[in-house]
Amino acid sequence: MLGKLFKYEMKSTARMFLLMYAAMLVVTLVNRISYTFLNREGPSNWMLDTLGGSVMLLYVLSLAAVGVLTMIFLVLRFYKNLIRAEGYLMFTLPVTPAQNLLSKLFTSVIWYFASALVMLVSILLMFPIGETMNFLRAVLKSWGEISAQFQQVSGMNIYALLGLFFLTALVGTVAFVLQTYAAMSVGSLANSHKLVCSVGVYIGIYMLQQVIMALLLVGFGRVLFETDLSVQQGFSLLQTVLWTQILLEAALSVGFFLVSNYILKRKLNLE
Amino acid sequence: MKWAFTTDRPIYAQLVEQMTFAVVSGEYRAGDKLPSVRDLAQEAAVNPNTMQKALAEMERQGMLYTQRTAGRYVTEDVAMIQQIKTKLAEQQVADFLAQMGKIGLTKDEIIALIQQS
Amino acid sequence: MMEQQYPIIECSSVTKRYGSRTALNGLNLTLNRGRIVGLLGPNGSGKTTLIKLLAGLLVPESGNIRVSGMPPSVETKKIVSYLPDKDYLNDWMKVTDLLAFFADFYADFDRQKALEMMQRLGLNPEDRLRSMSKGTREKVQLILVMSRNAELYLLDEPIGGVDPAARDYILNTIITNYSENAAVLLSTHLIYDIERVLEEVVFISNGQVMLQSSVDEIREQQGKSVDGLFREVFRC
């Protein structure tokens, strides 16, 4: 059943994202052309410069929009499909609320990563393809040497570091998504203006997190400023920080999931 | 077949009446196979169980019989159907005469009226 | 004789509150299979709350609910087919999408039957819900629900706000779908039109069952129709 829900969820969201990615690609190409064309040698023309600048601005805004729209769309998808009238369908299917939550979680994480990838590819496309390819080839060629150097300087395996970054991003995304779900679940308990309440709850949780983060950072900050760290110690500290973050976010994820599941299972009250 | 129901009597009793009428008036002849309970219920727009109850009652009265695998049939007893037809007609006549009596006609006046129409 | 089966519904002392308002107050109800039953009561009497509890969309404050011997859960959702009193499907879905969805999640869904019924309404597989009239959309929702070979059908106000032709269509669909193993519980406050289709009625008021009887019994004993009795009982 979870597989079916996941399949259905991906199908329902794919169209929107693929359209958005296609539009982003178009904007990227337009900007690329504009940039290349307008950067030619020759007498400068303030009209062309303004046009070029505008296109670049549009591009940068679009880039940001991909991220923002991804978030808004996925939050609204959850809300519309589970908290509004479609909830009558989803919660009478022979599935558990947990399965509904998980199918949406997996789908969301996939789209966040996909959007990030699209943004990255878009930025890379702004550079001459030839140069980018040469650069990548050079990196790949000397990868062995790079990793060895890295190991020596930092005392860390480069794969371990990359893996750690990826894990941090993954757990961070999962925690973020589950935080929105928890906020919407709690918000759904309100009798009216459920969405507004959800936003309020979300902000509340966010503020709480920031306070706790600030307190923790004070502790770390002390260490950072009062001691002279070698590069190796610096990387070691980085690992500690990241692992701490991963564990905290994992714990938060579990907490958010349990709250959402409990509310949807026992306190559901569709209009 | 036109199904009409009143609100104050049990539906199954009314179904029995209307089905009986259908048989004596020849809509369902002696030995005819009846449609399934579900089809009849659909036609009359009534609950299938209520229709079933009505048909069971008619079976009890002998108007219908069930053949195990084949379904429900109208009785082959033509004499019986005739009897019921006669009784129904007699009832209608009695009602008619009573009504005419209320209006104030004599028997001769009634006969003349009938012969005229 | 068939072996003893669980009654399809058993509610004992069910209480449900919304904040300070009590919707169901120690409600008791037992329903057997093979019946088409009307859940009748004025607005606010608890009809929709009871149906949502049976569908597994609400959790009672106290009391026991059993559907075919089981508490509302994933297992009961497999055998309960629920038609809510509102538009609950995604507008963008096409007929084929809906059929595929129901067939995917419900093992007892008769896709062929549903498709045929929709085609008889003049619908194309590619038609979207958005493009249909309100009446057609409601019929589509009904078809999807009735095309399941469920053990309990819960219909919340299926004929409220539809024209007479649509109403006849709905009642006809309910009759043709009848099965001895299943039960249909439909809630309504429009009794006159629906009385002949019901075998049994349950009067609900202020969150409790006031009366449970067969339609014919009421007519025999009270000399009036269920509609007549209802008006009398719930006279403001």
Flag if A91 and C56 touch (Cβ within 8 Å). yes
Same domain, B27 and B51: yes
Cβ contact A94:A1 at 8 Å: yes
Same domain, A154 and A239: yes
The residue count for chain C:
236
Tokens (6 digits) for C214 = 């067969």
Same domain, B93 and B43: no
Has residue A136 been placed in a domain? Answer: no
| Nearest chain C CA: its distance from A141 CA (Å) | 49
pLDDT of residue B116: 87
Has residue A235 been placed in a domain? Answer: yes
Same domain, B39 and B64: yes
- Domain at B43, CATH number: 1.10.10.10
Same domain, A147 and A37: no
Has residue A102 been placed in a domain? Answer: no
Same domain, A169 and A262: yes
Taking the CA atoms of residue B73, residue B74, residue B78 and residue B84 in that order, the dihedral angle to the nearest 10 degrees is: 160
pLDDT-derived band at B104, boundaries 50, 70, 90: confident
Has residue A163 been placed in a domain? Answer: yes
Domain that holds residue B102: 79-116
Has residue A189 been placed in a domain? Answer: yes
Same domain, B104 and B56: no
Has residue B36 been placed in a domain? Answer: yes
Q: Phi and psi (nearest 5°) for A4?
A: -65, -45
What is the residue-wise DSSP string for chain A? -HHHHHHHHHHHHHHHHHHHHHHHHHHHHHHHHHHHHHTSSS---HHHHHHHHHHHHHHHHHHHHHHHHHHHHHHHHHIIIIISTTHHHHTTSSS-HHHHHHHHHHHHHHHHHHHHHHHHHHHHHTS-HHHHHHHHHHHHHTHHHHHHHHHHHHSS-HHHHHHHHHHHHHHHHHHHHHHHHHHHHHHTTSSS-HHHHHHHHHHHHHHHHHHHHHHHHHHHHHHHHHS---HHHHHHHHHHHHHHHHHHHHHHHHHHHHHHHHHHHHS----
pLDDT of residue A84: 93
Render pLDDT for C91-142 as a digit per residue (tens, 0 to 9).
Answer: 889 999 999 999 999 999 999 999 999 998 888 889 999 999 888 898 999 9
Same domain, A93 and A163: no
Distance CA A133, CA A138 (A): 8
Has residue B60 been placed in a domain? Answer: yes
Same domain, B68 and B83: no
Place of tokens 């908290």: A83
Has residue A4 been placed in a domain? Answer: no
| Nearest chain C CA: its distance from A267 CA (Å) | 7
Same domain, A119 and A177: no
Rounded mean pLDDT, C75-81: 97
Has residue B2 been placed in a domain? Answer: no
**What is the number of CB-based contacts under 8 A between chain B and chain C?**
61
Has residue A133 been placed in a domain? Answer: no
Flag if A93 and C18 touch (Cβ within 8 Å). no
Q: Does A98 touch chain C (CB under 8 A)?
A: no
Same domain, B47 and B102: no
Same domain, B54 and B95: no
Flag if C57 and A1 touch (Cβ within 8 Å). no
Same domain, A82 and A146: no
Q: Does C85 touch chain A (CB under 8 A)?
A: no
| Nearest chain A CA: its distance from C171 CA (Å) | 23
Same domain, B38 and B69: yes
Q: Does C198 touch chain B (CB under 8 A)?
A: yes
What total of structural domains would you count in chain A?
A: 2
pTM of the entire predicted model:
0.89
Chain B neighbors of C164, CB-CB under 8 A: none
Flag if B45 and C227 touch (Cβ within 8 Å). no
Has residue B3 been placed in a domain? Answer: no
Chain C neighbors of B46, CB-CB under 8 A: 175, 196-197
Flag if B38 and C176 touch (Cβ within 8 Å). yes
pLDDT-derived band at B5, boundaries 50, 70, 90: confident
Q: Does A94 touch chain C (CB under 8 A)?
A: yes
Helix, strand, coil percent values for chain C (each to nearest 5): 35, 30, 35
Rounded mean pLDDT, C157-179: 88
pLDDT of residue A139: 86
Flag if C176 and B12 touch (Cβ within 8 Å). no
Domain that holds residue A19: 12-97+111-126
Q: E strand or H helix at C184, and its extent?
A: strand C183-188
Same domain, B39 and B83: no
Q: Does B9 touch chain C (CB under 8 A)?
A: yes
- Per-residue pLDDT tens listing for chain A (271 residues): 899 999 999 999 999 999 999 999 999 998 888 888 776 666 677 777 788 888 889 999 999 999 999 999 999 999 999 999 999 999 999 999 999 999 999 999 999 999 999 999 999 888 888 888 888 888 888 888 888 888 888 778 888 889 999 999 999 999 999 999 999 999 999 888 888 999 999 999 999 888 888 887 777 677 666 667 777 777 888 888 889 889 999 999 999 999 999 999 999 999 8
pLDDT of residue C1: 41
ipTM: 0.93
Q: According to the 3-state scheme, what is the secondary structure of C74-123?
A: HHHHHHEEEECCCCCCCCCCEHHHHHHHHHHHCCCECHHHHHHHHHHCCC
Has residue A226 been placed in a domain? Answer: yes
Position with higher pLDDT, A98 vs B77: A98
The answer for residues whose C-beta is within 8 angstroms of residue B24's C-beta and 6 or more apart is B81, B84, B85, B88
Interface with B, mutate which of C196, C213, C232 (most B CBs under 10 A): C196
Same domain, B69 and B16: yes
Same domain, A146 and A122: no
Has residue B30 been placed in a domain? Answer: yes
Same domain, B66 and B83: no
Same domain, A247 and A146: yes
Tokens (6 digits) for B19 = 């089905």
Instruction: Name chain A's partners: 3 or more CB pairs within 8 A.
Output: C
| Nearest chain A CA: its distance from C93 CA (Å) | 10
Q: For strand C36-40 and strand C183-188, is the pairing parallel, antiparallel, or unpaired?
A: parallel
pLDDT of residue A224: 66
Has residue B4 been placed in a domain? Answer: no
Q: Which domains does chain C have, with CATH numbers?
A: 9-229 (3.40.50.300)
Position with higher pLDDT, A226 vs B5: B5
What total of structural domains would you count in chain B?
A: 2
Q: Does B15 touch chain C (CB under 8 A)?
A: no
Residue C3 has pLDDT above 60, yes or no: no
Distance CA C38, CA C159 (A): 12
Q: Does A93 touch chain C (CB under 8 A)?
A: yes
Share of chain C above pLDDT 90, in %: 72
